[in-house]
Amino acid sequence: MTIVTIVKQVPEAEARVRVQGGALDLAGATFVLDGMDEYGVEQALRLREAGEASEIVAVGYGPRETEQALRTALAMGADRAVLLEASGLDDPLTVALALAEVVREAGADLVLVGGKQADWDSAALGPALAEALGWPHVDWATAFTLSGQAFESVHEIDDGSETLRGSLPLVVTTQQGLNEPRYPTLPNIMKANRKPLDVRPAATEESRSAARSYAVVERERRRVVLEGDASSAASELVRRLRDEAKVLG
């Protein structure tokens, strides 16, 4: 059984994101494999180790630099990688349609994809990819087991959690709690450089939605530090919340 694990290259969480004349300025930012996708790569590796999968294909969509994220996935243990090279930040529906082609070509029965992207703050790719493939999906999985074609997964819903059962094919969106992703070892990083990474231009249709401009959202905050011992600071806080901010009755 082949597993496709989708990876994305995103700016580090600590990176400063600036806006210049409505455009995004990511100069100086370090880019990394999206943390949410790492859980998917790790889950694929565990399924292979348990004898449930024979091949793991890491697939990326984005600029040439996405190769680095794919190399990280290869260093973690994926067998081969495919990059659909595209310049812009296309919307998740457009990306899903392009990725679905690669999933079909790989003959995969299971696709793992990060639950929420750290650049577009989107949770849409997994469900959209499932729709493009005509498959069901499990979102926000915190547990996933496979036995042949039959799976069982626990996932988070609005008010708690739920267990889902079914049989492959399936798209799963991954998140914290699913597993603890491994760090690539140095020998594996060396090995990863020799694993096949196939780069091709993404043959996508026009994006169905696009970002027109960006703005920094930081709100003005009062940034008052209340001095004194615990009880006088607390009384002053309650007074200010009532009289100044008017958020307490």
Partner 1 sequence: MILIVVEHDQGALRKSAFELVGLGRSLAIASGARLAALVLSAAGDDLASELARYLDEVHLVRDARLDPPRAETVTRAVAHAAQTLGADVVLLPASRAGLAYGPRVALRLCGSLLEDVTSVTFEGDTVVATRPAYLARVSATVVAKAKPVVVSVKPGAAPIAALADTSGRVHPLAVPFAAEDLRLEPSARQAVVKGRVALEEADVVVCGGRGLGSAEAFERQVVGLADRLGAGVGATRAVVDAGWRPYVEQIGQTGKTVTPKLFLALGVSGAVQHLSGMNRSGVIVAVNKDADAPIFRVTDYGIVGDVHEVVPALAAALEGPD
Ligand X SMILES: Cc1cc2nc3c(=O)[nH]c(=O)nc-3n(C[C@H](O)[C@H](O)[C@H](O)COP(=O)(O)OP(=O)(O)OC[C@H]3O[C@@H](n4cnc5c(N)ncnc54)[C@H](O)[C@@H]3O)c2cc1C
Stretch that binds partner 1, among 53-61, 63-71, 79-87, 161-169 (CB under 8 A): 161-169
Q: Should residue 35 be labelled a site residue for ligand X when binding is judged by CB under 6 A?
A: yes
Q: How far is the CB of 34 from ligand X (least distance, A)?
A: 8
Q: Which residue is nearest to ligand X (CB)?
A: 35
Question: Which residue's entry shows tokens 């493009």?
Answer: 132
Binding mask 99-118 for partner 1 (x = CB under 8 A): ----------------xx-x
Q: How far apart are CA 114 and CA 19, in angstroms?
A: 26
Q: Should residue 20 be labelled a site residue for partner 1 when binding is judged by CB under 8 A?
A: no
Tokens at residue 25, please?
Answer: 């300025």
Tokens at residue 130, please?
Answer: 């499932």
Q: How far is the CB of 232 from partner 1 (least distance, A)?
A: 9
Q: Which long-range contacts (CB under 8 A, 24 or more apart) does 26-34 make?
A: 31/65, 31/68, 31/69, 32/69, 32/72, 33/7, 33/8, 33/9, 33/68, 33/69, 33/72, 33/73, 34/7, 34/8, 34/9, 34/10, 34/69, 34/114, 34/117, 34/118, 34/119
Residue 69, strand partner residues? none
Which of 8, 48, 137, 195 is close enough to bind partner 1 by CB under 8 A? 137
Q: How far is the CB of 36 from ligand X (least distance, A)?
A: 5
Q: How far is the CB of 178 from partner 1 (least distance, A)?
A: 11
Q: How far is the CB of 177 from ligand X (least distance, A)?
A: 11
Nearer to partner 1, 186 or 225 (CB): 225
Stretch that binds partner 1, among 44-52, 56-64, 190-198, 200-208 (CB under 8 A): 200-208
Residue 4, strand partner residues? 57, 111
Q: Which parts of this chain interact with ligand X (CB under 6 A)?
A: 35-36
